Amino acid sequence: MKLKDELKREAIINETIAIVYAKGFAGVKMAHIAKKVDISPSTLYVYFKSKDDLISSIATDLLKNITNISQNQLKQDLPYKLKFKAIWVFYINFGINNRKEMSFITQVKQSPYFDMIPEHIRHLKSSFILDLLDEGKQQGLIKDVDNTILSALLGAFLTETIKLIDSKLLQLQEEDINTMFLLAWDAVKN
Amino acid sequence: MKLKDELKREAIINETIAIVYAKGFAGVKMAHIAKKVDISPSTLYVYFKSKDDLISSIATDLLKNITNISQNQLKQDLPYKLKFKAIWVFYINFGINNRKEMSFITQVKQSPYFDMIPEHIRHLKSSFILDLLDEGKQQGLIKDVDNTILSALLGAFLTETIKLIDSKLLQLQEEDINTMFLLAWDAVKN
Amino acid sequence: MKLKDELKREAIINETIAIVYAKGFAGVKMAHIAKKVDISPSTLYVYFKSKDDLISSIATDLLKNITNISQNQLKQDLPYKLKFKAIWVFYINFGINNRKEMSFITQVKQSPYFDMIPEHIRHLKSSFILDLLDEGKQQGLIKDVDNTILSALLGAFLTETIKLIDSKLLQLQEEDINTMFLLAWDAVKN
Amino acid sequence: MKLKDELKREAIINETIAIVYAKGFAGVKMAHIAKKVDISPSTLYVYFKSKDDLISSIATDLLKNITNISQNQLKQDLPYKLKFKAIWVFYINFGINNRKEMSFITQVKQSPYFDMIPEHIRHLKSSFILDLLDEGKQQGLIKDVDNTILSALLGAFLTETIKLIDSKLLQLQEEDINTMFLLAWDAVKN
DNA sequence: GATGAATGAGCGTTCATTCAT
DNA sequence: TATGAATGAACGCTCATTCAT
């Protein structure tokens, strides 16, 4: 018997993410994915039991991975501002290296597919970021503003920075990165 | 019959915007719009020659209007920071009062429909904002960072603030507005 | 605008009944029906909102009609045995003239479509037949056996007789009809 | 490995019959059968070369067996009416004990699979029953009606009786059995 | 201008069957 | 022999759009 090809599963996932990145959700057609991966449309159903399953599985995987990765990073012992910056830079890099995946998640969140993701995954929050903000507040370095609001704004800031780098308006080099970090830091610092 | 027609056209546009706000782009069905406006699907084609035309026309109109409206506002003579704040508050209010329209534009921008909007409309930028930033830089009050970048970040900040108000995490009252303004101002100020 | 064609609806219904008669339920393909009626498959959905709807609508209509027709017939004042025979002959004729429709109902009853028929239609019973049997029992002419059983057997008898006529083993003429009636009558008579 | 294979083949057959009984013909999916027998769908094709082959083989086997079984029974020397009744009771019992198999045959008969059964099997008739009827006619006990017709009616009668028992409207006890036999006997007796 | 009917193009999905091991 | 993977050929259905009045 033929062996199931894990590479094929990954190819399907990557192609789906790429299509969502390029054309948004409306552009995801099972037949289209199949053609790109060079398999028959029906073969897709060997790996995912429906389009909904395909998309929500990808979203679930991505959310899990992102949470893990960010949580496992950066437990370094540094002065607060430097630590904050290190994390900031880490996220920028992560966002750049995974822009398609990030875009996928952003789009899923404002689509009906979001409701198909298991509850406990759906509410994954980087509690890590919240901890970081708390630490800053305790040291009197961060504005006394609700964490949800601060992290939402920092998130928007980050996303926009990544977009700017993506569109070549910014470069992934020390100078630009410093500039962008300073904008973010000044916003939240006390 | 100019009057009657124009009303119907507007009804179609408003309903389309409302549906996109409620269900996202995937949910826009010509028949659905028609039913909501209480006309036949075929009548839609009297007013717009296709679905693409309907959506890109709405997007074009909205982009034009937004640019106009903001430009015609607030030429007041105030100290710079106050003027900046007044504009900031104006945009917040505008965003809240036109959240469906803003959502429509946001969604169009990441969809294939965006490419159907005439080039010159697509790139409309509030040169007004750029002027405001220039004025601040001349007075040494604003960081010496590229205007495109600053306006992009301020835009992201603004959008996020509107979302937070929309989701009741913030209130449209002086205290919260002041807090949010301070975050933005601190980010860009020198 | 084009006017909806009642004839088209009927053509769809008749074609569906004919296909079920010829090939059973497994043979009912929307595209096939459409081709036979010379319309596009999608046009079917103008008249019936799904395959389930098509089949259960037909079943519902047939059940209603059959009940009405048989109930409106034969309230004649005749000696019991003659009345019984008249009804018997009426049913034979009805079955022959509507063999496809009868076959449709028989097949629906042992298919999942039956559950889609409205409750009150599903349980339509020719209470008329039950009344007839009661009358016979009162006169001591009919065996004292449960009505449900008697009517089930008479139904099977009838169906079989129709099949035999259909397959040319019997003829729809007085002699054969009399013979068959006698078999039925002898079975139930006291 | 003859034993193991034969068991698997039988398991496939029994499962198929059970599924047809439970869900009708439309419900028979190769994958479904395979899962129930706990083999792979492809293994089914080791035993039967196609779905058509599976179903028509089963039907053929059943038809052959039924004919054989009934023929080997009941050559007892009894007064005609008692012999007739004994056979009647035998068939009732056989039908009850093999209701799934009977249902399978009934359903095959009104499906396209029937045409795939070899001609000589398709027309198997219990010549035995015909002999029984002839014997009755010779003794002047049975109506002088064509054997094909009489046996068809008796068959319908029998099937209906089995259905009634199956649905608990009748009980497999002496009283009910007697009643039903009397109905059948009265129908055909002279 | 307005509309109900009609439809072609395409979509997601199923499933009997074959392939490759 | 046994089987998981793979697939072609359908199928039911949707929907933007056009037709005919």
pLDDT of A74 reads 58
Cβ of residue D151 closer than 8 Å to a chain C Cβ: no
pLDDT reading at D1 higher than 50? no
Spatial contact of B144 and B137, defined as CB atoms under 8 Å apart: yes
Q: What is the mean pLDDT of residues A104-126?
A: 84
Distance, CA of A5 to CA of A9 (rounded, Å): 7
pLDDT reading at D120 higher than 90? no
pLDDT of D125 reads 67
- Scored b (16 or more CB within 10 A) or e, D147-180 reads bebbbbbbbbbbbbbbbbbeeeebeeeeebbebb
Distance, CA of B91 to CA of B83 (rounded, Å): 12
What is the SS3 assignment for chain D?
CHHHHHHHHHHHHHHHHHHHHHHCHHHCCHHHHHHHHCCCHHHHHHHCCCHHHHHHHHHHHHHHHHHHHHHHCCCCCCCHHHHHHHHHHHHHHHHHHCHHHHHHHHHHHCCHHHHHCCHHHHCCCCHHHHHHHHHHHHCCCECCCCHHHHHHHHHHHHHHHHHHHHCCCCCCCHHHHHHHHHHHHHHHEC
Cβ of residue A23 closer than 8 Å to a chain B Cβ: yes
Are chains D and B in contact at 3+ CB pairs closer than 8 Å? no
| pLDDT tens by residue, C82-116 | 989 988 888 898 889 999 999 999 889 888 899 89
Spatial contact of D165 and D98, defined as CB atoms under 8 Å apart: no
- What are the chain B neighbours of A153 within 8 Å (beta carbons)? 157, 160-161, 183
Nucleotide minimizing C1' to CA distance for residue D46: F1
> Which member of C111, C146, C149 has the closest CB to residue D24?
C111
pLDDT of B1 reads 44
Distance, CA of A62 to CA of A105 (rounded, Å): 8
What is the separation, in whole angstroms, between the first and last Cα of chain C?
Answer: 65
- Give the chain B residue whose CA is nearest to the CA of A110: B24
Question: How distant is C1' of E20 from CA of A3, in Å?
Answer: 9
Q: Do C24 and D188 touch (CB under 8 A)?
A: no
- What are the chain B neighbours of A188 within 8 Å (beta carbons)? 183
Nucleotide minimizing C1' to CA distance for residue C31: F11
Sorting pLDDT into bands at 50, 70 and 90, what band is D42?
Answer: very high
Output the average pLDDT for chain A: 88
Q: What is the mean pLDDT of residues A6-32?
A: 91
- What are the chain A neighbours of B179 within 8 Å (beta carbons)? 145
Spatial contact of D60 and D117, defined as CB atoms under 8 Å apart: yes
Interface contacts C/D by beta carbons within 8 Å? 80
pLDDT of C56 reads 94
Distance, CA of C93 to CA of C162 (rounded, Å): 9
Spatial contact of D184 and C187, defined as CB atoms under 8 Å apart: yes
Higher pLDDT, C15 or D128: C15
> Which member of C23, C163, C180 has the closest CB to residue D112?
C23
Sorting pLDDT into bands at 50, 70 and 90, what band is D73?
Answer: low
Q: Do C157 and D152 touch (CB under 8 A)?
A: no
pLDDT of C71 reads 66
Q: What is the mean pLDDT of residues C26-45?
A: 94
pLDDT of A173 reads 84
**Bridge partners for D189 per DSSP:** D142
> Which member of C25, C160, C188 has the closest CB to residue D152?
C160
Residue A189 DSSP SS3: strand
CATH of B59-188, one of 1.10.357.10, 3.30.360.10, 1.20.1070.10, 3.40.1390.10: 1.10.357.10
> Which member of C24, C163, C183 has the closest CB to residue D188?
C183
> Which member of D143, D153, D184 has the closest CB to residue C160?
D153
Q: What is the mean pLDDT of residues A93-121?
A: 89
pLDDT reading at A2 higher than 70? no
Cβ of residue B22 closer than 8 Å to a chain A Cβ: no
The minimum CA-CA distance between A187 and chain B, rounded to whole Å, is 4
pLDDT reading at D93 higher than 80? yes
- Give the chain A residue whose CA is nearest to the CA of B148: A169
Spatial contact of A185 and A138, defined as CB atoms under 8 Å apart: no
**Which region holds residue D170: left if phi is over 0, alpha if psi is between -120 and 50, else beta?**
beta
pLDDT of C64 reads 87
Spatial contact of D11 and D37, defined as CB atoms under 8 Å apart: yes
- What are the chain B neighbours of A157 within 8 Å (beta carbons)? 153, 156-157, 187
- What are the chain A neighbours of B108 within 8 Å (beta carbons)? none
pLDDT of C28 reads 92
Q: Do A182 and B143 touch (CB under 8 A)?
A: yes
Single-letter code of the amino acid located at B161: T
- Touching B: which chains, 3+ CB pairs < 8 A? A
Domain range summary for chain C, segments of one domain joined by +? 1-48, 62-188
Output the average pLDDT for chain C: 88
Distance, CA of C169 to CA of C154 (rounded, Å): 20
Domain D62-188, CATH homologous superfamily name and number? Tetracycline Repressor, domain 2 (1.10.357.10)
Residue C38 is classified by DSSP as T
Sorting pLDDT into bands at 50, 70 and 90, what band is A24?
Answer: confident
Question: How distant is C1' of E16 from CA of D29, in Å?
Answer: 9
The stretches in chain B having pLDDT less than 70 are: 1-4, 70-75, 125-127
Single-letter code of the amino acid located at A42: S
Q: Do A170 and B160 touch (CB under 8 A)?
A: no
Domain D1-48 has CATH 1.10.10.60: yes
- Give the chain C residue whose CA is nearest to the CA of D169: C149
**Strands, DSSP E only, in A6-82?**
none
Are chains C and A in contact at 3+ CB pairs closer than 8 Å? no
| pTM (predicted TM-score) | 0.88
- What are the chain B neighbours of A152 within 8 Å (beta carbons)? 160, 163-164, 169
Q: Which residues contact B128 (CB under 8 A, 6 or more apart)?
A: B70, B71
Nucleotide minimizing C1' to CA distance for residue B27: F15
Q: Do B26 and A23 touch (CB under 8 A)?
A: no
Question: How distant is C1' of E17 from CA of A42, in Å?
Answer: 13
Examine domains B1-48 and B59-188 and report if their fold is the same.
no
- Give the chain B residue whose CA is nearest to the CA of A107: B110
Query: Tokens 């070549």 label which residue?
Result: A168
Higher pLDDT, A16 or D4: A16
Residue B4 DSSP SS3: helix
Nucleotide minimizing C1' to CA distance for residue B40: E3
What is the separation, in whole angstroms, between the first and last Cα of chain B?
Answer: 57
> Which member of B23, B112, B164 has the closest CB to residue A27?
B112
